[in-house]
Amino acid sequence: MPGAIRRSGIVGYTPRRLHADGSGCWIVGADGIAHCDHAGTVTIVESAPISASALTDGVLATAAPTPRDASSSLVLRTLSGGVYATVNVPADIETVSPGAGGFLLFMRTGAQGRIVAQNQRGPWCARVRLDGALELGTAWPRPFWNTGDTALVYVGAPLAVGRSDTRGQLLDEELRPIASVPFTSAFPPWTTESGTWLVMRSRALAHQLQDPAFAAGYDGTDEQFTYFRPDRAITRPETWAIAAGFPISLATLPGFDQVWVSTTSGTFATAHGALTHTGALALHDADAELPAIPTLPVTPPLELGDPDEWTQRQRVRLLAENTPQGLLDIEIDGWFPTTTLIVTFRVAGLTGRVCSRRMSVFDRDGRPRLWPGAPTLMESIHLDILESEGVRRLREKEPGPFGWIWV
């Protein structure tokens, strides 16, 4: 696949989105749009970054990043015919979801109530049919303007859910909130052939619905989540499964009536035929059943020469530039591409103490992370300390190995 290796350490943030159907898999994100068929042939469809996307009935809908408070466009394309419709909307598209014969858009606009709230943007929703027809809803009233991180999904009716809210909002025909439901989705939901799946912390869902069944086996931490499909009345889960770890992704295999869940703790799956039942579904650890992920080689840029010798030269340079600012020593740990530096230094205001910090020399693609010039290494470290409550906080930290205060 073309593009940089992208993996975010931020829970809930996905640099790339995968949309699979009978043709293969669309890969959409910061590197644009690519398609991979079942023979492994990769086709580059678009190189410009994409901020939101969804797939239904063979139609891929995408939105590009736009300036705040600007109008934006939704592009509809198929694999065989390419772009066949561009739908202009009067607000910034935040999320796109499949729903009811087309797509549901959740947008932000400053056009409504700009005089009242200069720094806020109001929610606004729309439907886009598969033929490109736009049905613009009515902008939401002021009491709902603090809604954040929201996705609009279809569960028999449009439903707005978001991690910053304790309740979801059911929408009317004009796509305005008309009633709240006693659950939401703490992470972006998944629309599958078996329906829309939401996810909440098990403890929070059990508390909202006053039913301990939705937190069965709760281990006392916030790292247990319940994945669920709402019932037809949209009042409580109809089917649910509980897994440890923060959510990464969910998929269903309709041919096997099976659910797969990927979390920071591992990969889990139900037994075949589980989706034919309602109520709680049991998940088992599926990591042992998965093929090993191949190791991808990392090649340093040609201008670096030998990367380990380059690291030695950078150590000399950094010592010369930063010793007057309190740098004591730099120890090189490991080899390319996972080389790290252990930097030891003193900070004014911490008499008799030595601080240390570990930092990577290369990024995931083998490119240098150490830059020459301003800000220098110590200027950057001092700024980080200042922004995290300064020397006062360091005084409160327990020394680490060898008596160092790790920063």
Listed by start position, the domains of the chain span 51-181, 183-296, 302-406
Segments in 252-389 forming alpha helices (H): 307-322, 377-387
pTM of the model: 0.72
Separation between Cα atoms, residue 287 and residue 106, nearest integer Å? 35
Sign of CA dihedral 217, 210, 163, 73: positive
Separation between Cα atoms, residue 208 and residue 224, nearest integer Å? 16
Q: In the sheet where 168-171 sits, what is the strand order? A: 150-154, 158-162, 168-171, 177-181
Distances (CA, A) of 382 to 270, 322, 376, 403: 50, 12, 10, 20
Segments in 323-402 forming alpha helices (H): 377-387, 390-396
Strand-pair partners of 357: 343
Under-50 pLDDT residues of the chain = 114-118
Structure confidence at residue 114 (pLDDT): 47
For residue 208, the Cα-to-chain-centroid distance in whole angstroms is 25
Structure confidence at residue 251 (pLDDT): 93
3-class secondary-structure state, position 308: helix
Structure confidence at residue 125 (pLDDT): 95
Separation between Cα atoms, residue 237 and residue 183, nearest integer Å? 9
DSSP single-letter state for residue 79: T
Q: What is the pLDDT of residues 76-88, one digit of tens each?
A: 999 998 999 999 9
Phi-psi region for residue 310, left (φ > 0), alpha (ψ -120 to 50) or beta? alpha
Nearest to 164 by CA among 176, 153, 150: 150
CB 32 within 8 A of CB 48: yes
3-class secondary-structure state, position 207: helix
Q: Tally DSSP H helices, then E strands, for the chain.
A: 4, 29
Segments in 210-323 forming alpha helices (H): 307-322
Q: In the sheet where 59-63 sits, what is the strand order? A: 52-56, 59-63, 72-78, 82-89
> What is the torsion angle, in degrees rounded to the nearest 10, for the CA atoms of residue 174, residue 176, residue 180 and residue 181?
50
Separation between Cα atoms, residue 335 and residue 332, nearest integer Å? 9
Q: What is the pLDDT of residues 116-130, one digit of tens each?
A: 444 567 899 999 999
Nearest to 198 by CA among 167, 233, 244: 167
53: Cβ–Cβ under 8 A, 6 or more apart, which residues?
A: 17, 19, 26, 28, 33, 60, 61, 62, 63, 96
Strand-pair partners of 226: 200, 242
Tally of CB atoms within 10 A around 404:
15
